[in-house]
């Protein structure tokens, strides 16, 4: 019997969303015929095709772009329709805001099961006006068509989703533990020579201004930002090193040689980099936002902060924390037992098959 076809649409083909799709599609391609219709962003790896099983079909959507543009978005809609007509998928899964808005409009009356995963709602952004937040939230409500189920990527995102639509569930993000093969994982925390890192795009979401303030408070500690982005000029402390964009293996190798993973995000979905740091037994110190606080439980498997003062105090007192080894062990165990890509893929498989059964397609 021919495999059922899953068609993923994703404009934000970089960062955590890229890792999520690579992990999910690779884990599902034994059971499904997988297609990914993607856009290119600056943070899309140059060798992105190497991340995917050769059986996965990759289709570029030429007119995808992050900004709102009537002409480009209309052209992208036409591309999406053409791709769907050609692939004839059994399941459609839209990822992130742009593909989510365009796809939900396009497939609002589709008899094919359609899903949408936000990966962090736009209206949670803290750098926009109240009017814009209301506009983005209204868009999410308007486009929450009854035939389209939202699959949030964390419990916190799911709680927010329930305010927008009753047709919702959630599957926690998970990382592929095989990605750590060949990475030296034996680094022991050195309280006398701490190294602090973060990983991701240097963007407003990741709050480089706060990261810089924390680095300035510890001039004798090395800070490293693994990644690049439009706000790199905000990282002016002399003890901060910026790696620029590197492939995933190199990024993990940089992270492996550090002690503390800092996440100063203003908003999140469920960050893959945090899960990677937990698995590598880094001390995780994160901001108190949805996604981060879904995973990190204060003083049990990491630390949750409400202010720059919190970050500074935790780093200052880390040496005298008696249960620090237990905290990082708890974090690693939670990734192994829950936040791994095979468990994530099994849950998605169940959701997809249930939807196909409900539609009478299996």
**DSSP SS3 for 80:** helix
- Measured CA to CA, the distance from residue 120 to residue 201 in angstroms comes to 15
Mean pLDDT of all residues in 50-76: 92
Asked whether residue 178 carries a pLDDT value surpassing 80, the answer given is yes
- Measured CA to CA, the distance from residue 90 to residue 8 in angstroms comes to 11
Per-residue pLDDT at 38: 97
Per-residue pLDDT at 6: 98
How do residues 8-53 score in pLDDT, each as one tens digit?
A: 999 989 888 999 999 999 999 999 999 999 999 888 888 999 999 9
Dihedral of alpha carbons 93, 94, 96, 101, sign: negative
The number of residues in the chain equals: 362
Q: Which residues have C-beta within 8 Å of that of residue 184, sequence separation ≥ 6?
A: 253, 256, 257
Per-residue pLDDT at 122: 82
Asked whether residue 128 carries a pLDDT value surpassing 80, the answer given is no
The number of angstroms, rounded, from the C-alpha of 360 to the middle of its chain's C-alpha atoms is 33
Helix (H) or strand (E) holding 232: none
- Phi and psi torsions of 136, nearest 5°: -65, -40
How do residues 250-286 score in pLDDT, each as one tens digit?
A: 999 999 999 999 999 999 988 999 999 999 999 999 9
Residue 351 pLDDT level (bands cut at 50, 70, 90): very high
Asked whether residue 360 carries a pLDDT value surpassing 80, the answer given is no
Residue 2 pLDDT level (bands cut at 50, 70, 90): confident
How do residues 143-153 score in pLDDT, each as one tens digit?
A: 999 999 999 99
Per-residue pLDDT at 322: 78
Asked whether residue 125 carries a pLDDT value surpassing 80, the answer given is no
| Domain 4-174+341-358: assigned CATH number | 3.40.50.2000
Asked whether 39 and 67 are in contact (CB, 8 A), the reply is: no
Question: H-type helices in the chain, by residue range?
Answer: 15-28, 70-87, 97-106, 130-142, 155-161, 208-217, 248-256, 272-279, 292-295, 308-317, 324-337, 341-358
Fold (topology level) of 177-337: Rossmann fold (3.40.50)
Q: Which residues have C-beta within 8 Å of that of residue 163, sequence separation ≥ 6?
A: none
How do residues 74-114 score in pLDDT, each as one tens digit?
A: 999 999 999 999 999 999 999 998 999 999 999 999 999 99
How buried is 184 (Cβ within 10 angstroms: 0-12 exposed, 13-18 middle, 19+ buried)?
Answer: exposed
Strand ranges across the sheet with 195-199: 240-242, 222-226, 195-199, 260-263, 283-287, 303-305
Q: What's the mean per-residue pLDDT of the chain?
A: 93
C-alpha count within 13 angstroms, C-beta hemisphere, residue 53: 16
| Residue 340 DSSP label | B
Asked whether residue 163 carries a pLDDT value surpassing 90, the answer given is yes
- Measured CA to CA, the distance from residue 36 to residue 56 in angstroms comes to 8
**Short-list 214, 241, 197, CA closest to 308:** 214
**Short-list 171, 223, 166, 231, CA closest to 197:** 223
- Measured CA to CA, the distance from residue 90 to residue 92 in angstroms comes to 7
Asked whether 160 and 137 are in contact (CB, 8 A), the reply is: no
Per-residue pLDDT at 54: 97
- Measured CA to CA, the distance from residue 28 to residue 168 in angstroms comes to 21
Mean pLDDT of all residues in 304-333: 94
Residue 175 pLDDT level (bands cut at 50, 70, 90): very high
Greater confidence, 123 or 284?
A: 284
Asked whether residue 309 carries a pLDDT value surpassing 80, the answer given is yes
Per-residue pLDDT at 121: 86
Q: Where are the domains of the chain?
A: 4-174+341-358, 177-337
**Short-list 60, 119, 83, CA closest to 7:** 83
Two domains, one topology: 4-174+341-358 and 177-337:
yes
């Amino acid at each position: 019997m021919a495999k059922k076809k899953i068609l993923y649409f994703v404009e934000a083909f970089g960062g955590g969303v890229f890792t999520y799709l690579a992990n999910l599609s690779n884990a599902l391609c034994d059971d499904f015929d997988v297609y990914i219709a993607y856009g290119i962003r600056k943070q899309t790896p140059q060798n992105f095709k190497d991340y995917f099983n050769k059986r996965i079909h990759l289709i570029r959507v030429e007119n995808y772009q992050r900004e709102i543009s009537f002409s480009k978005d209309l052209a992208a809609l036409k591309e999406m329709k053409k791709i769907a007509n050609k692939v004839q998928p059994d399941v459609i899964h839209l990822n992130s805001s742009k593909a989510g808005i365009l796809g939900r409009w396009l497939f609002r009356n589709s008899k094919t099961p359609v899903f949408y995963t936000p990966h962090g709602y736009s209206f949670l952004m803290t750098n926009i006006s109240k009017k814009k937040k209301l506009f983005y939230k209204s868009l999410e409500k308007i486009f929450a068509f009854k035939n389209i189920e939202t699959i949030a990527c964390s419990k916190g995102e799911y709680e927010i989703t329930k305010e927008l639509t009753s047709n919702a569930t959630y599957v926690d993000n998970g990382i592929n533990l095989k990605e750590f093969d060949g990475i030296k994982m034996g680094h022991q925390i050195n309280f006398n020579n701490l190294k602090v890192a973060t990983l991701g795009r240097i963007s407003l979401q990741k709050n480089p201004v706060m990261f810089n303030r924390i680095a300035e408070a510890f001039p004798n500690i090395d800070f490293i930002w693994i990644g690049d982005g439009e706000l790199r000029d905000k990282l002016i402390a002399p003890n901060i090193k910026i790696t620029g964009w590197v492939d995933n293996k190199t990024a993990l190798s940089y992270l492996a040689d550090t002690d503390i993973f800092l996440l100063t995000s203003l908003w999140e979905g469920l960050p893959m980099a945090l899960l990677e740091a937990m698995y590598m037994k880094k001390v995780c110190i994160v901001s108190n936002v949805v996604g981060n606080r879904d995973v990190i439980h204060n003083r049990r498997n990491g630390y949750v902060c409400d202010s720059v003062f919190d970050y500074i105090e935790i780093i200052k007192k880390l040496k005298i924390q008696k249960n620090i080894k237990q905290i990082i062990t708890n974090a690693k165990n939670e990734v192994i037992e829950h936040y791994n890509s095979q468990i994530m893929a099994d849950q998605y498989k169940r959701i997809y098959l249930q939807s196909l059964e409900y539609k009478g397609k299996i």
